[in-house]
Structure 1
């Protein structure tokens, strides 16, 4: 906009009426964008909504001054409406909050004449309630946590829904400790926290591994410092003494003038034959790590960036490490979020290299740009544990505002290292910091609807004295009717509370995983891929369809998607053209090329060129084969949801529906070898008692559409249309006509599988030697049962 006035003018003409919601949260860049759009008019049509008292994101670039400057800029023509009716909180809660926020000077009511902001409780359900906020002083932090835990347990026993209760605190550390006690006590917990992935220790390990591979690819044997650290990672479980021995040997050879490195030594020792019968050779863990490193260094030049990261997950021991870890759910969330970041960057730049990715990460770290993630744990029906920032926009019947100590809220401010700020500048910055904190405190207070408990401790658990936050004094100074109530937790109750930390950790771990799986199952809807996966191996379903192990897209899958896209556009353009005429062959190929280029990041240079040439060939011949016989009465890429069969929710995405009145032939495009696909189209038999995957897919689609209440359709058949020719260069279609017996069989499979999934019966594998996930579990000693096939044999 700033560089191209014509582009700006176009958007100014397009957006003549502008609404800005949550104006107090706009960053400098967002505010500048608004200003550019409205500066064409002397009196623009702009409507901004915001609460200056809830401006709490200055660390993200938001600034309450944006609102003040806007008000001053248009003061002559500004129409201001102050909403003073509050429908969330009781009047006592509003009064105590007002006392606090009135001490701020950066407020519109103090900048604009005639404004008043005295909030009035206007919810008829709350307006007559006079529960005063309760201020509680505990002797020590552990007693505060014990007291809150007891109070919450009492509320739950009285029938208060867990979701109506919240514990709010300043820092995540407080919530993490309290959440652990809650889980050990058996209290349901739900917490969300914002984290910077680039500051997480687990993600730092992966970044270091990526950084090392980039370094070795650029300058072989130059990254010994990083490799030394990597070998100590718990992905490998190598005894530190073995790493130390190897390092000493490398250094001794260097002192002797020999050119070597840890990586080279690992490789040489792994290849060296045993000197004698008693020579045990290189430690097995080191040997394995060396082999992994060599494989990954080679991958840097030969696979896509997404595939490289997937190989790190699979080869470098990352996935087994996660699945064996007590906090595997949290680690899986971190891994998925970081992989999503890599996918996003490669989508933005299909030619991004590993070195380029490391440069992006380095730039983000040097400029303090976070890689944000919302980490969720527990069930959303649990007691809410939130930071003050995370509580914004929410409301709860009971709020426990905990840990309100100066050490958490008013940390010491330090001028920048290496220079001294002028006294006036530093005092202004300190005052501004206080006002930002006061707004954050205000937000936390006003989350409460009826009951508000504010608490702090006088001593740390180690006996060191702590001061209450300055905001406690501000409340007491203005509200003489409120006094700090000293709460004493009995020695017996405190002992019972502290004893929880010595309880076996398994219940907490089990509960965390149980809550995570519960959340997944609550949202789970059966599709044919999940059904086939479960029937093949419940472990495969657990890893691939439920918790969804992160993976990159491979070239075969993306090539198939490009073919699908070209065919979808072909039929859509025929329908939209109005003459029922198919576009030209070149038009169809252009859509294929567009998709391939858009998803270029999923192909190596050689694979992209090969697939482009092959796709051009198969699509040209496919077009010529069917152009004069295609049914034109069709629906393409139809998403169907909201279907129930025997109480099982179903969904599916169908490539094409061909109509003969209300009778349907479902068409599913298939790429790949047709000869390998034929056995999958057979129904139940002695070899495959559950039937083939494609047969089941055909029947599933009939159940899905026949039970779709929004349409009176009936599926007669499903046709698999192979878009790649067979070995004789012929294009083939295979049609399955579905019988009543077929539908009853798959309906039974659906019902039984759904029940097993809801009963969490997916921790037992099929036990077949060729099963990837069963072998993954066996090879990594994961504690998941494997089905014994001997009984069946």
Structure 2
């Protein structure tokens, strides 16, 4: 006998525990479910949608389900197909970005965004470089030596954060000022006892000034967001965070657009609520603000506040709870776990208990309910170390011990938060000739070898467009090891340039480098000076690359730099030659 969707739903519903059933059946009003991994969140979301559709005159089109990832949306749709069949495609199951794109596409006349393309990473970098190039001399972010574009990644990260949280520069300025007012009064910046640096209670001026300097840099960085947005607009580009901000702006300025979606959707469900950004949360709040007690169902994990580095933000859950308690908020904690053993859950509770200040249910005790895992005899051991260095060595020694005991290396795994934490462990294991297999994404633009090539390209580009505008790069470039020029010789040229410019005998690095090797041997170098040859070679290849900038493609110039600079020869003789060749 073929089962219909209703039978399948009823069978699955009966498998739910008491709290899960309560979450499914409480279809009206605000509901907050706190649930961690392995508690059946996706199942109850799908079952709840099926329950709503089966009640009264509700239709699938009345429901908006917002997820954090595309994978979450796909998983939800598959589960719905089991419960309600083809009607699953009528339920609006979208990520926040996809929903905002839907709003934009349905209101193109208002948004006027035809012809816009998503900005590429290279374009983002180019726009930020333009911003940096136009810094005033007194801008706290302006650099005159080293990598003048050092702040590029930081600025892009800040722009992304400001957009995701819908922060303005004025908002950041205000909070920075408040922070500085608070920090100057804090005990952390006061001497605890008399010393040669100050008396007990005196302000630690050096530390305070360092904080002020960082905050001024943050203010200056925040002020550049509008310029970045203007560059995106001028070039017909947008990023995904812009879509959410556009819709927020439209909902606020054009009430009829907002009211259309408030009338269209009567039930709102949000998965992974702790992962929503400030801007995403504002989209939700605007949609449900029409009702004092909206039919909104949010599922979040307050324990994931430990994943703040990945974007988890438990503050959204706390603010939602506080806002809707007066309007009959129903709170449902899911404590039955179907994925882990009780040992694992108890150990996790010990660690997570440190986050009590940011948890909704600090006394929550998860219970292992899956008989296949619940009673597994594999209690974890928690080891505390004095510092990260001790931890790295301790873990490496444990791995070495396990190997000596005959444990296969492919049965040993190390899970860490950041790749940098594994570096010391890997180095120790390599010294002990213990093979390591690790995978991580590498931004090759931050690899030392590639950074050198990029810096040379910046110099060539600057000199090609306007002579002597690449001076800020040349001092560093001449120190690159593949040129093998002694630092003392570079220092001599630097002094010559400074002295002549100070005495108004204007000169440039390009001229002084050429003069240095073209002088008579007795004048600057000895007859067979290797240093003179190296300086001469560096000068000739640099001049050649500048000329190539006019006559060759970018790819050809990069090829010339790799071949003619000595980079390729150096890579082939280096201990890390395989890795270096992969980078090239």
Bigger proportion of residues as strand: 1
Q: Could you state the TM-score of these two structures normalised by the residue count of structure 2?
A: 0.45
